[in-house]
Structure formats: structure tokens, C-alpha cells
Structure 1
Amino acid sequence: MEIKCSLNTFKKTDVTFIDSEKAYISRVADQPMAFETFQALKPYVKSIGVTDGFKKVIDTFDVSEGQTPAGFRVEYGLEEDGALRADLVRDISYDKNGVKRPTNVLFSADSANPYEVAPIKNILANLTCNPGIIYDLFINNPKANVGSQFKTRDEVMAEIGRILGPGADISVELNDPFGKSDAEILEEAAKFKEMLSEYRVVIKVPHTGPVSKETVDQLLTGDKKFSIPCDAPGTAEALRGHNIALMLQENGYRVNFTLMFEPYQTALALQAKPYFINSFVRHRFMQSEIMKKGLAAYDATRDPRYLEDIKKMFIEKDYLCKGQEMDLLSVKQAAEDLLKYRHFEDHEGSDGLDSVRHNLRWFKNTNLDDSRLIICSMEGPLNYPDIDKLLVEDEFSDLVNRVVITAEPNYLARFTSCNQVISYQRRFMNAANGAK
């Protein structure tokens, strides 16, 4: 038999609610408390109140009377004078009133389009965007930004914050991780915090690789090709993103450490103490398919043009930098090595999700209990279904609470439907309208 308890149960033991805090306490007074917890606390509790942090959360958001906002869990602390105080701790696994979301796996959207976010807002625990999403896909896209209503990034983010409410984190990316000083980056982060609140804002920090303040213009001018190999960065350049992430974390910001494609990036990324890490799956999978098909065609025909096609892809996708030469046998070897590393011929990675499996296993070996994995960059009819299947594999049953799945809202929406939905709706609607 389950015995139900709450803060109100303490009233029967002559414990008082602190008068000046009763309006706040009423928001959690009926929330369930384990009987064992009540029994353990009963001898020590003399009064019940809330923390200053609790008050700040309630005062920050427009929360209906008698409720606590989504995106927070309730924790209790017992003070030396016997005051038991409720606190609200940021946790996007929770819906309003301290109730957990329906599944441990959470959902996010890649969008900066308020019109697109509104229909999906009630299932989101996070929203992630970057300058490309904000400017290219929305502000500068007249089909999306209807009537050019939104002019600036700040206007867009403020509206998205209003739509989503307190329950979803909002990951916003630095405009320029290369040219700005630490002080300027903190100033930019502070503006986001002021706009979205300290509770929701997450700062996206990219891996920087060989790109630096001195070389970033190569990506912006001329043929926009880069002159330094992707696997030969200077130490300072390669760790620029890590150090920005650590600097932000030390200043109280949660960090979404982004642009993670290969599994070997993970352990080093975790040293930056991120709130989110990422597995980008789409482009990597597509490039692996090109390599696999090219190698198979070459093995069957010995026609070098198939290796030339792989080399062309290597140049286009920045495996090779501007002016870097690689003979065709080396191209073949490089492609074979990449496919082997990516387990593209076996269960571990034939679905393109070896990086996801790898990153989840790393969570078993971290001391970052609040960090989560965002699975992002999906495309086609199988990416999401394959991820869905992976997350119910026995090996990962204890890790799904660390996962956030993010995609464009329309991509997620397609997986709410299938052919039989239409077939059955045809039958139901005709029956409802009297068809014989």
C-alpha cells in the first residue's frame, strides 16, 4: 500500500508555514512526497518555507497561481533552525508542477521561425539555432519571415522565448567565436541571458578546428576554400572552442558544445564541462554512403573515375584543404579507413549511428551527471526511425534520460503519421458523415 504525503502532511505535526512565504509554499504544498522522506524529516522540521531562488523563478515567469513552471524540479533543504525550504532547480525533464515529462528521451527543434515553433511548442524541452538558421532560413527568407515582420536576431529570439515559455532551454550560438575577446563574448552572452533569462539560455560554442581569427576570412572570400588541413590544426586554434566553453561555464553559463561529428571528438569535448554535446548524423552518413558506393564500383570495374569521385567529395567536404594533393590509391585507403572507423559495414554503424552509440557509452564514464547528448542533423525516411530503435536497445536503457532528439519541426512532424492514418481517417470520417 502506498501512503501519500506532501508538505501539507507536516501541518498535522504542528509544523508551521512561514507567514510571509505562504503564497509561494502553496504552489508545492500538495506535490507528492515519499512517505519515507516524510518520516525521515518529521523529527527535525519546525517550519516550512521556500528559498530565495524559488521566489526568483516564480517572479521571473508568468506562472499561474498555485503552480510551479515547467522546466524545474522541486528539491528540499533542511536548515539548522529546522526550516525545510523548497527550491526550484532547472531541469528540462520536468513539466509544470514537478511532474516528469512523458518520456525520458526529450525533443528539441532546430528552428528560428516563430510560426514554425508555435505548433510544436508543447512537446519541446529545448530549441537550438545558429546564425544560418536565424538569418538564412528565417530573417532573410521572405517566404518564412512573412511581411518581413522580424528585422533582427534579438526580435526573433524574444518572440521564440515568449512562445516557448519557461519549460524549454534555448540554445543560441555566438555570432563570432574567432574575432571577439573573452569580454566581448561574455557581453554577448549577457544579452542573451537578459533576453531569455538565466534559466533558459544555453550558449552554443562550436568546435573551431584549424580556423582562427587570422584565417577565418578564407571561409568568407574568394572561393571560400580553406588552406589548412582539417586534421592539422594548431593547438591554440583547435582548443579555442574548448576554452571559450570553459570560460562561459566558469561564469555561470550552460554550454551547448556543437559541431561534433566524429566519435574521437567526444572525450576531449567533455573536458569543457558542457551541458549539451552533439552527434551530427546526416552529412557524415551521406558521405560514408558515397565512399562505400565508390569503393564498390571501383572494386567491380577498376575504373579510376570512381576514386576520382571520392576525391572530389573529399575536396568539396573539406577532408582535403585547398591545394592539398592525394593520389588515388591514398584516396582509396583513406576511404577504407574511414568506413572501418565508422563501422559502416556492421550493426554498430551501418545505420550511421556509431557516433551516437559511442557518445552514450561515454556518459557511463563521465562525472557530468547533468550533461545530455543532442542527436541532431537528420534527413530522409530512416534517420529518425533508426534513432528511435537504437534508444530502446537494452544497452542504452539507462541512458535515454540523457538524450535530446532535435530536428526541423517539419521533419519530426512526419513521424507522427503513416499510410494507415489516412486509410482509417477515410473510414472514420465517412462513417461519421453518414456514408453507407
Structure 2
Amino acid sequence: MKTVSCTLNTLLNDDVSVIENQKKDVARVLDFDLPLEDYAFLKKHVKKIGVTAAFEKVIKTFNTPDNETPEGFRIACRLEANGILRADLIRDISYDKNGKKRPTNVLFSADSANPYEVAPISKMIANLTCNPGIIYDLFINNPQANVGNHFKTRDEVMGEIGRILGPGSDISVELNDPFGKSDSELLEEAEKFREMLTDYRVVIKVPHTGPVTKENVSELLSGDKKLSRSCTDVTTESAFRGHNLALMLKEHGFRVNFTLMFEPYQTALALQAKPYFVNSFVRHRLMQSELMDQNLKQFNATGNVKCIEAIRNMFLEKDYLAMDQADMDLLSVKNIAEAMLKYRHFNDVEGSDGLDSVRHNLRLFKNTNLDDTRLIICSMEGELNYPDIDKLLVEQEFEDLVHRVVVTAEPKYLARFTSCNQVVSYQRRFMNAANGQK
């Protein structure tokens, strides 16, 4: 059976016209598809077609060419009093220009503050994430990346990235210091980002803070740079510092990317802060699980206590333990490692790929009322991390949730998965054929 197609343009007739001073903007959406049942209803009620003030603001903000709507916005319609149907533009990074969906429900993002490496991937991503480490360590203060020291400040970098990405990509930026500044100072910094990137694109990254407070954060900046308390030795105020900061920003109209989520048990409480993005960090967690598993198996096979000592050393290095726990007895270390691997499902199909946290978080999305919140899968490396994520996202259990997933990595890491050995083999054949060789 042939599908019947309707558009807003179909509604126009002798009794239905376009609001005179909005003809140019209405022309941008006259080809917008209408479901047949909507057309039947609207035909009876619509007398005028126009656009909302919000629509006009979006068009003006991004200097959108005639007969187009910008990428990063979904076209919606609402029927007002007196039979006026107004088209609106709703921020939604799942959409390309002119209200068309992006090629896949799963979206991609880049972890970078390097304009030179963002440019080649700019048309493929719907978000960019960066933090002070990415901005300063990996770009501004890295002469190999910041060629000729052209960029000198964070604002210069973010302004250029905003220009490169255009309207279709959100930009998640982290405040420099969530500990030392007052709430009013943090809001002022966030407002600067909003002014620079526009309200439509800016997302403020807010970190979990755990046991770190403005009183002890200096410990991370001097000496051995170790915190004097363990990661679980928190106060209620310190542990929920990030959550309350996220809620404050939300109340002031900001979307929040709630970050530093390494264990899935962090997610349900993080969702109480009403974030726009939550995260699953997968790389380091997997590597640490592999180290624990390898050493436990070696210990069980040989009885060599150095295997458990290696786990304890990792616990100290990676902040599972505070330095005053450096002499924790090895049996306790072994028990902690075994319990952790069991929680992570490391030795069964649920978590052997290190992605149990992703599966858990996606299941939590079935139990949330935050319909616009998305999960960022981030922090990956190696030959299998991305391919395993790619396979997970076609598992039948998650087919109704992939539209809420954003996969993010350094641009070069994503780029490697555009290629494989046969690309080289076939290019050899094609290029030699093109050059007249047999």
C-alpha cells in the first residue's frame, strides 16, 4: 500500500493562510511532514500558520540560511487560540538540519579541546566534552597540539570550537574549580560559557566530588598529591556537593553533564540531580578489573603473596585506599578484590567485556522520568573497547534505549575504527588498477 504523505503546506488553502510578517520563516517548515491523522484534525481547526518567538530567536541566533532550519533542533507544532498553528524549534541533538533525524539513533561525541582535530570530525558528532585537563594539559600548554601557541586562553579555544561545530552540537564544558568558588562565582563562570556558546549549546559539566572538599582539595595539589582519606570516607555534604551544584545550575536554566561516574551504583542518585547527561567511564575500570583478576588467578595457582601485594599497590595508586591503609592485611585486600570483581560481573557474560556498568545504567533508564537525559559512554582505549560497545548497542535488550546513548572518545581513537586491514588491501588493488597495472 502506498504511503500518503502530508506536509504543513497541504493545509494552505483559501481559508488557511500564513501570518503576513512571518512568511519567510514559515517557508522554512512548509515541507515538514504531518502524520495523516494530524492533518485530518488540523484541517478542521487551523486558520493561520506562523512560528513562535522561540523559533525566530533560533533562526536569528545562528544566522540560518533561507528555507532552512538549523541542525540540532526538532520541528514541533502547537495549536493556539483562534486557530493559529505555530511551528517551534526544540533543542534536540538527534536532529540534523531541516528537522531530519541524524543517520543513527546512537550519537557520537568527541573528547577534545583541540580545534585542529575537532574540525575533521565536526560533521559526525552531536556533542563535544572537555575539562580543564583536556583544555590546558592536552592543548593550550602542549606545543605540539597548540601550533605556534596560537591559542592562549580557554575562552579563545572554546570560541573557536563553537564556530567549528556550528549549532548542531552541544558543548559540555567544566567549571575550573567546583570547590574554592562560591555559588555566585560558579554561576558567573557558567554564564560566561552561556554567552559564548549560546543557551542552546552550552552544557555545564559537574563532577562527583566524593570526599574532596574545599578544605582538603589542596592535598591533591602538593606533596604526594594523595588525599588523606579514602574514597568512601565521605561526609554527606561533601559527597552531595556535585548533586546540589547540578540542581542549582538546573534552576538557573543550565543543562548539566554529571560526570566522574565509574561505578553503576553512582547513577540512580546522580539522576536525582536531574542531569541532561550522565556517564559511564569504562577504560580504567576495565583495566583495573583485569589486573585484579590476573593476580587473583596467579595467587590461587601459585600461592605467591606478591600477587596480592600487586593488587594492594594498585589500590593505593588508584585511590581505592588512602595512604594510611598501605599496610592493610593481604587477606582483606584479596576479599575486597574478589567482591569487586563479583559486583562487576567480570567473570560472566554480563561484565567480561568491562561494560556491566553500561548495561546497568541503560536498565536504570527504563526506570527514570527524565525523558531527555542521555547516557554518555566515555573513556575508552585499546582494540576491543569500542567494538565491544558497538556490539552491546545492538543487543536486543537495549534496542529501545539506543536513542539515549552518546559514544564519546578522542577523535583519533574513533578514527581508527573507520579502517581495517582490507581497506589497505583493496586500495592497493584499486589504485594499481587505476594506474593501468595488472
Which band: TM-score by shorter chain? over 0.9
* Cα deviation 1:234-287 (Å, max 9, x = unaligned): 000000000000000111100000000001001000000000000000000000
1:296 match: 297
2:432 match: 430
1:163 match: 164
* Cα deviation 1:72-127 (Å, max 9, x = unaligned): 00111111111100000000000000000000000000000000000000010000
Alignment of 1:224-373 (within 5 A): 224-324=225-325, 325-373=327-375
Cα distance between partner residues in 2 of 1:92 and 1:129: 18
TM-score normalized by structure 2?
Answer: 0.99
Cα distance between partner residues in 2 of 1:193 and 1:103: 28
2:90 match: 89
Alignment of 1:206-225 (within 5 A): 206-225=207-226
1:396 match: 398
One-letter code aligned to 1:178: F
One-letter code aligned to 2:388: D
Q: Secondary structure at the match of 2:247?
A: helix
Cα distance between partner residues in 1 of 2:181 and 2:6: 53
One-letter code aligned to 1:356: V
One-letter code aligned to 1:134: I
Cα distance between partner residues in 1 of 2:5 and 2:346: 52
Cα distance between partner residues in 2 of 1:322 and 1:308: 14
2:194 match: 193
Q: Secondary structure at the match of 1:108?
A: strand
Q: How many aligned positions are there?
A: 436
Shift of the 360–13 alpha-carbon distance from structure 1 to 2, 3 Å rule, reads farther
One-letter code aligned to 1:382: L
Q: Secondary structure at the match of 1:278?
A: strand
Q: 2:411 aligns with which of 409, 412, 430?
A: 409
Cα distance between partner residues in 2 of 1:67 and 1:305: 65
1:384 match: 386
- Return the offset for 1:129: 0.3
Q: Secondary structure at the match of 2:229?
A: coil
- Return the offset for 1:14: 2.0
Cα distance between partner residues in 1 of 2:320 and 2:214: 21
One-letter code aligned to 1:27: R
Q: Secondary structure at the match of 1:122?
A: coil
Q: Percent identity, aligned pairs only?
A: 71
Cα distance between partner residues in 2 of 1:225 and 1:177: 19
Cα distance between partner residues in 1 of 2:310 and 2:8: 68
2:174 match: 173
- Return the offset for 1:13: 5.3
One-letter code aligned to 1:347: V
Q: Secondary structure at the match of 2:13?
A: helix
- Return the offset for 1:180: 1.1
- Return the offset for 1:12: 2.3
Alignment of 1:39-118 (within 5 A): 39-118=40-119
Cα distance between partner residues in 1 of 2:91 and 2:244: 25
Cα distance between partner residues in 1 of 2:20 and 2:429: 60
One-letter code aligned to 2:408: T
* Cα deviation 1:329-387 (Å, max 9, x = unaligned): 00000000000000000010000000000000000000000000000000000000000
* Uncovered stretches (5+) of structure 2, i.e. residues with no partner: none
* Cα deviation 1:46-79 (Å, max 9, x = unaligned): 1010000000000000211110000000111111
Cα distance between partner residues in 1 of 2:74 and 2:273: 25
Cα distance between partner residues in 2 of 1:161 and 1:35: 39
- Return the offset for 1:34: 1.6
Q: Secondary structure at the match of 2:6?
A: coil
1:202 match: 203
* Uncovered stretches (5+) of structure 1, i.e. residues with no partner: none
Cα distance between partner residues in 2 of 1:380 and 1:308: 26
Q: 1:419 aligns with which of 405, 418, 421?
A: 421
One-letter code aligned to 1:18: I
- Return the offset for 1:32: 1.7
- Return the offset for 1:232: 1.6
Cα distance between partner residues in 2 of 1:295 and 1:2: 61
Cα distance between partner residues in 2 of 1:113 and 1:13: 55
RMSD of the alignment, in Å?
0.7
Cα distance between partner residues in 2 of 1:326 and 1:241: 30
One-letter code aligned to 1:8: N
Cα distance between partner residues in 1 of 2:206 and 2:117: 24
